[in-house]
Amino acid sequence: MAVRKYHLTFTPENVSEPVTYRLVKEFDVMINILRAEVDEAGGRLMIAMEGSGIQIERAIRYLEASHVQVQELKEFIRKDDSRCTNCGACVSICPVKAFVMDGRTFKVAFLNEKCIACGMCVDACPPGAIRLRAQV
């Protein structure tokens, strides 16, 4: 089983389709909605999808056939360890604890698999050690 993160973009025409329901019911994948936004331009959904490689592949094909734009989110931000002062500002601001401070060494580590691409840490980092890698 694998867990992959995707950013889905819906048009005004397909934004009301029960896409996540169908993904679970017909493609047997588990969906965790990380972020959701809907406006007059359509909708954007960030999801974590869990399933076998074949299940995920079929689910993605279904989304694309439904005219949903699918972008896999592998790396949203990157932390530059040479600039990081281990101040902990990102640890406080990250809503999903994707930054953790080692209580023994007082060094801050970034856990990419937890990141939900909210972008809040980028401006919160005093020395600019956190850079965006992808726009979603």
Binding residues for ligand SF4 (CB under 6 A): 76-77, 79, 84-90, 93-94, 96, 98-99, 108, 115-121, 124-127, 129-130
The whole-angstrom separation of Cα 68 and Cα 49 is 15
Smallest separation (angstroms) from ligand SF4 to the CB of 31: 18
CA distance 77 to 124: 13
Alpha carbon distance 16, 4 (integer Å): 23
Buried residues in 70-96 as b, exposed as e (16+ CB within 10 A): eeebeebbebeeeebebeebbbeebee
Nearest Cα to Cα of residue 29 among 12, 54, 7: 54
- For residue 35, the minimal CB distance to ligand SF4 (Å) is 9
Least distance to ligand SF4 from the beta carbon of 42, Å?
Answer: 22
Q: Least CB distance from residue 24 to ligand SF4, whole Å? A: 24
Considering beta carbons, is residue 12 or 126 the nearer one to ligand SF4? Answer: 126
- Residue 24 or residue 93: which is nearer to ligand SF4 going by CB? 93
Which is closer to ligand SF4, CB of 53 or CB of 127?
127
Q: Which amino acid makes up residue 59?
A: A
List phi, psi (to 5°) of 120. -65, -30
What's the min distance (Å) between Cβ of 86 and ligand SF4? 5
Residue placing its CB nearer to ligand SF4 in the complex, 53 or 128: 128
Q: Identify which of residues 23 and 108 has a Cβ nearer to ligand SF4 in the complex.
A: 108
